[in-house]
C-alpha cells in the first residue's frame, strides 16, 4: 500500500533546514510525518540494551534519544543487533556505531541494513573493529518507509515517514597485541602469469610493536610456504611482505591463495588470515558469443531489442543465451568465448550484481586474456553496484533523457549498421551513469555531459564497454537507435582466423627502456595491440594504431615482455591475434641481479656476493628459524659485483634465513651453519 505525500508546511521546512546539520555534535535526523502513522521502530536489542515495544518517537520530529540505555562491546568481538519494525508499514533500516568517535556516522561504520515488512524482526551481525577507540560512543538505528530503499540510509537527511533512535555503547578499545592480514596484492589475475611474486599485506592494528612472527601462504590447500618477518613492525604501521620464493602458475584456471600469520603474542585470531582467488587466463582463441540476463522475468521491459541486435550481428542461432541463476562462469568466460553481453536492466539488476560479486575475478581475468565484454544495466531496483575493473561503478539512479555521442569518431558510430546518428532521445535513454578511471567516454547525457551513459576501457588484452542504457525500444529515432545497439555489439564481436589473415612478420626491436614492435602491412586501416611485462598483469596496456608499428617506453632493462597484435577486418570483425615475447637489453655494464652465498654450508664464515645491485642501499638481516636476528647491517653497493665477508662463527649450528631488502624488492636465501 502506498501513502499519499503531502506538501511541507513552513514550520516543517524550517525544521529541515536546521535539524540535519551537525556542528561538532551528532546530527539530529528529521522527519516531516515521523511515527504519527505508525511508521516506527518497535524494538532494538543488543547486549544489555533491550528496548522493545517502545512505541512512537520521543520528540515530535521522528527522533528518539535513548542514550541513557547502554551496553559494553569488546573490540574484535562479533555481536547480533535485533530490530523489530512497527506494526503497520514496511521499512528500510540502517544501523551505525561511531567507532572513531568523531560524531559522524561514516559509511565504514555501518553495521548493516534490513528491509522489514510490518511487525517483522531482523538481525544484523557485525564485528567491532579491533582499532575502535575505547570509551562511550553512539549507536544509531534509523528506519525510513518503505522497505527496499537504497542502502545505507543517510543518517542525517530529511525523510517523511519513520523513526531514528540513538543509544550508547561502551567500547573496550584496541587490543594490546594484534596483527591483521589485510590483503594479497600480488599476484593479481591476468593472462599468462607464469612465475610471479607473492606479496602479503600486514597491519599492526595493536597497541604494541610486533616482531618474531611468521608469515605463511598456500595455494589450493597445498604446500605451505613460510618465512619469519625479520624486523619489528611498529604499532599502527603496515607492510607489504614479499616472499623470497616465487610461485609458478603451471596451468590456466583459477587458484585459491590463503595467507596467514602466526604470532604467539597475538590477542585475536579472527583477522589473522586472508584469502583471494587468482585466475591465470590463457589467450582468448575462440569466437563464441553469449547474451546473459536473469530468468526471474522475461527480457527487460518485455522488449526483444537485445536479442534482435544479437541476431543482426551474429545471425539467428549464431550466439548462445544464459541466465545468471544457471550460468557456469567457467563456461561463459573460457578461451572458447570472445564476446559476452551481461544485461542488468529493469528487474535484472539485483541478479546481475549478485553474479558480478561472485565472479568478478573470473570475469576480469577473462577480459585481460582478450575477452570483450558489454556490461550494461538500466535498473529499476537496487542501489547501483560495483562494475569492477579497478573501481568502475554503476551509479543508480540517474535518468538521462537524451544521449549524445561524446566521441563521434568511435567505430560504434560508423557502422556496419547505418544510419546511426549522434543523439538519441528516450523516455529515458538511461537509468544510471558510469564512474571510473581510465575510461573513454562514448555516450553522455546531452543536458549534463559530465554524466556518462556508455564508456570504454581497455583491460589487459581485452576491452569492456560499461553502460547504463535502457533497451533501444525506448529510443528515437528508432532505426538509428537499433543500429547503435547492433554496432555496439558488432564492435565487441570477435572473429576467428578465417575472417581475414592474422598479422604476419611480427618482430620486436628492444633497447634498454624502449622497444619498437612492427609487423607486415596487411592493408588494414587499424591494428589493435596489448602488451605488458610477463608475470605482472598490472603493467599491461592496450590500444589501437593506424600504422604498422608501435613504440613502448619506460620499460625495465632485462625484463621480459609479451605483446599481441590483431588487424581490423572491417566490416567482418578482427583477425586472430599474433603474439611475440622479448627481453629488454641490459644497460651497458649492467649485471643480472643475483645473490650468491659461499661456502654454503659453512662454519659460520662465508661470503655474500651481490651481482647487479650497484647504486643501491641494502639491508642485510640474518635470523634463525625462531625469528631471532643474529646479524643486521646496512650497506651501500657501489659496484656491479660486490662481495661482503660475514663472520657468524659464534652462531649455533642450524638453518638461517638471509634477507636482503633495498626498499622495493626483497631477496631471501637459506644459509646452513654446521
pLDDT at 287: 86
In 118-262, at which residue ranges do the beta strands (DSSP E only) sit?
121-127, 135-144, 159-171, 179-186, 190-191, 195-196, 199-204, 210-211, 214-219, 225-228, 232-233, 238-242, 247-248, 253-262
Superfamily per CATH, domain 507-583 = Immunoglobulins (2.60.40.10)
Report the pLDDT value the prediction gives residue 204, as an integer from 0 to 100: 92
* Whole-angstrom distance, CA of residue 96 vs CA of residue 198: 36
More confident residue, 404 or 362: 404
**107: Cβ–Cβ under 8 A, 6 or more apart, which residues?**
152
Percent of the chain with pLDDT over 90: 46
Residue 576: pLDDT band with limits 50, 70, 90: low
**Beta strands of 499-601 (E only): which ranges?**
507-510, 515-518, 527-533, 541-545, 549-552, 560-567, 578-583, 594-598
Instruction: Please work out, in degrees rounded to the nearest 5, the angle formed at the alpha carbon of residue 71 by the alpha carbons of 156 and 35.
Output: 40
Rounded Cα gap, residues 631 and 605, in angstroms: 13
| pLDDT at residue 7 in the model | 30
Q: Determine how many CB atoms are found less than 10 A away from the CB of residue 245.
A: 11
Reported CATH class of domain 594-673: mainly beta
**What is the β-pairing status of strands 337-343 and 288-293?**
parallel
pLDDT at 572: 59
Q: How confident is the model at residue 584 (pLDDT cuts 50, 70, 90)?
A: confident
Among 309-318, 506-515, 660-669, which is the least confidently predicted range?
660-669
Q: Kindly tell me if the per-residue pLDDT of 193 is higher than 60.
A: yes
Average pLDDT over residues 465-483: 96
**Greatest mean pLDDT range, 95-109, 236-250, 355-369, 502-516:** 95-109
Q: Regarding predicted confidence, which is higher, 632 or 70?
A: 70
Asked if 360 and 327 count as a contact pair (C-beta separation under 8 A), the reply is no
Mean pLDDT taken over the chain: 86
Question: DSSP 3-state helix, strand, coil percentages of the chain (rounded to 5)?
Answer: 10, 45, 45
Q: What is the pLDDT of residue 5?
A: 33
CATH 2.70.50 fits 10-171, yes or no: yes
CA nearest to 95, candidates 74, 81, 79, 77: 81
- The answer to whether the beta carbons of residues 369 and 284 sit under 8 Å apart is yes
DSSP track, 38-96: S--EEEEEETTEEEES--S-SSSSSEEEEEEEEEEE-TT-EEEEEEEE-SSS-EEEEEE
Average pLDDT over residues 591-599: 72
Instruction: Give the pLDDT score at 587.
Output: 57
Architecture of domain 304-492: 3-Layer(aba) Sandwich (3.40)
Write down the pLDDT at residue 573. 59
Distance of CA 611 to the CA centre of its chain: 38
Domains 179-281 and 594-673 share a fold: yes
End-to-end CA distance of the chain: 83
Res 539: pLDDT = 65
Q: Is the pLDDT of residue 504 over 80?
A: yes
Give backbone dihedrals phi and psi of 18, rounded to 5 degrees, phi first.
-100, -25
pLDDT beyond 60 at 22: no
Q: Give the lowest-confidence range in 139-143, 219-223, 550-554.
A: 550-554
CA distances from 520 to 207, 366, 503 (A): 63, 28, 7
**Helical axes 478-492 vs 305-314, angle rounded to 10°:** 50
Break the chain into its structural domains and give their ranges: 10-171, 179-281, 304-492, 507-583, 594-673
Residue 208 in grid coordinates: 604494541
Q: How confident is the model at residue 637 (pLDDT cuts 50, 70, 90)?
A: confident
Q: pLDDT tens digits, residue range 324-360?
A: 999 988 889 988 899 999 999 999 999 999 999 999 9
* Residue 379: band (very low, low, confident or very high) from pLDDT cuts 50, 70, 90: very high
Residue 17 scores a pLDDT above 60:
no
pLDDT at 6 over 70: no
Query: Using the 8-state DSSP alphabet, how is residue 568 labeled?
Result: B
For 404-408, what is the mean pLDDT? 88
Q: In this predicted model, what pLDDT tens digit does every residue of 105-137 receive, in sequence order?
A: 998 999 999 989 999 999 999 999 888 999 999
Rounded distance between C-alpha atoms, residue 126 and residue 78, angstroms: 6
| Per-residue pLDDT, 284 | 82
Task: Quote the pLDDT of residue 10.
Answer: 32
Q: Residue 13: count other Cβ atoms within 10 Å of its Cβ.
A: 13
pLDDT per position as a tens digit, 58-67: 777 899 999 9
User: What pLDDT sits at residue 571?
Assistant: 61
C-alpha 141/C-alpha 40 separation (Å) is: 11
Question: Is 60 exceeded by the pLDDT of residue 497?
Answer: no
Lowest-confidence pick of 21-25, 105-109, 547-551: 21-25
| 3-class DSSP assignment, residue 148 | coil
Rounded to whole angstroms, the Cα distance separating 83 from 52 reads 9
Of 191 and 555, the one with more pLDDT: 555
Mean pLDDT score, 311-328? 93
Torsion of CA 411, 413, 416, 420, to 10 degrees: 180
What architecture does CATH give domain 179-281? Sandwich (2.60)
pLDDT value, residue 251: 81
State the pLDDT confidence band at 239, using cuts at 50, 70 and 90: very high
Amino acid at each position: 500500500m502506498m501513502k499519499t505525500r503531502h506538501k511541507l508546511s513552513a514550520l516543517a521546512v524550517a525544521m529541515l533546514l536546521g535539524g540535519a546539520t551537525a556542528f561538532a555534535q551528532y546530527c539530529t535526523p528529521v522527519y516531516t510525518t515521523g511515527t504519527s502513522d505508525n511508521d516506527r521502530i518497535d524494538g532494538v536489542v543488543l547486549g544489555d540494551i533491550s528496548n522493545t515495544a517502545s512505541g512512537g518517537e520521543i520528540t515530535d520530529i521522528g527522533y528518539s534519544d535513548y542514550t541513557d540505555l547502554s551496553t559494553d562491546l569488546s573490540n574484535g568481538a562479533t555481536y547480533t543487533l535485533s530490530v523489530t519494525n512497527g506494526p503497520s508499514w514496511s521499512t528500510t533500516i540502517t544501523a551505525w556505531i561511531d567507532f572513531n568517535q568523531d560524531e559522524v556516522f561514516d559509511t565504514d561504520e555501518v553495521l548493516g541494513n534490513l528491509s522489514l515488512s510490518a511487525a517483522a524482526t531482523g538481525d544484523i551481525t557485525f564485528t567491532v573493529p579491533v582499532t575502535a577507540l575505547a570509551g562511550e560512543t553512539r549507536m544509531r538505528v534509523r528506519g525510513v518507509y518503505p522497505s527496499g530503499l537504497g542502502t545505507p540510509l543517510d543518517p542525517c537527511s530529511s525523510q517523511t515517514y519513520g523513526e531514528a533512535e540513538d543509544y550508547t555503547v561502551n567500547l573496550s578499545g584496541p587490543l594490546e597485541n594484534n596483527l591483521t592480514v589485510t590483503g594479497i596484492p600480488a599476484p593479481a589475475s591476468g593472462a599468462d602469469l607464469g612465475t610471479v611474486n607473492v606479496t602479503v599485506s600486514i597491519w599492526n592494528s595493536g597497541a604494541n610493536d610486533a616482531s618474531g612472527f611468521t608469515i605463511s601462504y598456500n595455494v589450493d590447500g597445498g604446500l605451505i610456504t613460510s618465512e619469519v618477518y625479520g624486523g619489528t613492525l611498529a604499532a599502527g604501521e603496515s607492510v607489504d611482505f614479499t616472499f623470497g620464493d616465487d610461485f609458478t602458475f603451471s596451468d590456466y584456471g583459477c587458484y585459491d591463495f590463503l595467507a596467514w600469520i602466526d604470532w604467539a603474542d597475538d590477542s585475536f585470531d579472527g583477522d589473522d588470515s586472508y584469502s583471494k582467488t587468482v585466475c591465470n587466463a590463457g589467450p582468448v582463441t575462440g569466437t563464441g558469443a553469449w547474451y546473459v540476463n536473469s530468468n526471474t522475468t522475461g527480457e527487460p521491459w518485455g522488449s526483444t531489442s537485445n536479442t534482435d541486435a544479437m541476431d543482426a550481428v551474429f545471425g539467428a542461432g549464431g550466439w548462445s543465451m544464459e541466465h545468471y541463476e544457471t550460468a557456469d562462469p567457467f563456461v561463459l568466460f573460457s578461451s572458447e568465448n570472445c564476446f559476452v553481453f551481461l544485461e542488468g536492466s529493469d528487474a535484472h539488476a539485483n541478479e546481475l550484481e549478485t553474479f558480478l560479486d561472485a565472479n568478478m575475478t573470473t570475469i576480469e581475468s577473462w577480459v585481460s586474456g582478450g575477452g570483450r565484454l558489454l556490461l550494461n544495466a538500466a535498473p529499476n531496483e537496487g542501489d547501483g553496484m560495483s562494475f569492477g575493473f579497478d573501481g568502475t561503478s554503476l551509479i543508480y539512479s540517474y535518468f538521462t533523457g537524451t544521449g549524445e555521442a561524446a566521441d563521434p569518431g568511435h567505430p560504434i558510430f560508423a557502422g556496419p549498421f547505418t544510419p546511426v546518428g549522434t543523439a538519441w532521445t528516450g523516455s529515458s535513454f538511461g537509468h544510471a551513469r558510469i564512474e571510473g578511471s581510465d575510461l573513454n567516454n562514448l555516450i553522455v547525457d546531452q543536458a549534463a555531459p559530465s554524466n556518462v551513459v556508455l564508456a570504454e576501457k581497455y583491460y589487459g588484452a581485452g576491452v569492456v564497454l560499461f553502460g547504463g542504457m535502457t533497451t533501444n525500444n525506448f529510443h528515437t529515432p528508432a532505426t538509428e537507435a537499433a543500429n547503435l545497439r547492433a554496432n555496439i555489439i558488432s564492435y565487441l564481436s570477435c572473429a576467428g582466423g578465417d575472417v581475414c589473415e592474422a598479422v604476419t612478420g611480427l618482430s620486436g626491436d628492444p633497447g634498454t627502456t624502449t622497444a619498437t614492435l612492427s609487423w607486415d602491412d596487411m592493408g588494414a586501416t587499424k591494428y589493435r595491440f596489448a602488451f605488458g611485462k610477463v608475470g605482472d598483469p598490472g603493467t599491461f596496456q592496450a590500444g589501437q594504431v593506424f600504422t604498422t608499428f608501435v613504440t613502448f617506453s619506460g620499460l625495465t632493462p632485462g625484463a621480459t615482455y609479451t605483446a599481441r597484435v590483431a588487424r581490423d577486418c572491417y566490416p567482418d570483425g578482427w583477425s586472430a591475434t599474433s603474439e611475440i615475447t622479448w627481453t629488454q637489453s641490459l644497460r651497458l655494464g649492467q649485471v643480472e641481479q643475483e645473490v650468491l652465498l659461499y661456502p654454503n654450508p659453512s662454519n659460520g664464515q662465508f661470503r655474500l656476493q651481490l651481482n647487479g645491485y650497484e647504486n643501491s642501499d641494502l639491508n642485510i638481516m640474518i635470523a634463525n628459524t625462531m625469528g631471532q636476528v643474529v646479524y643486521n647491517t646496512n650497506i651501500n653497493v657501489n659496484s656491479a659485483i660486490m662481495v661482503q665477508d660475514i663472520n657468524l662463527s659464534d652462531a649455533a649450528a642450524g638453518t638461517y634465513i638471509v634477507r636482503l631488502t633495498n626498499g622495493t624488492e626483497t631477496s631471501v636465501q637459506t644459509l646452513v651453519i654446521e
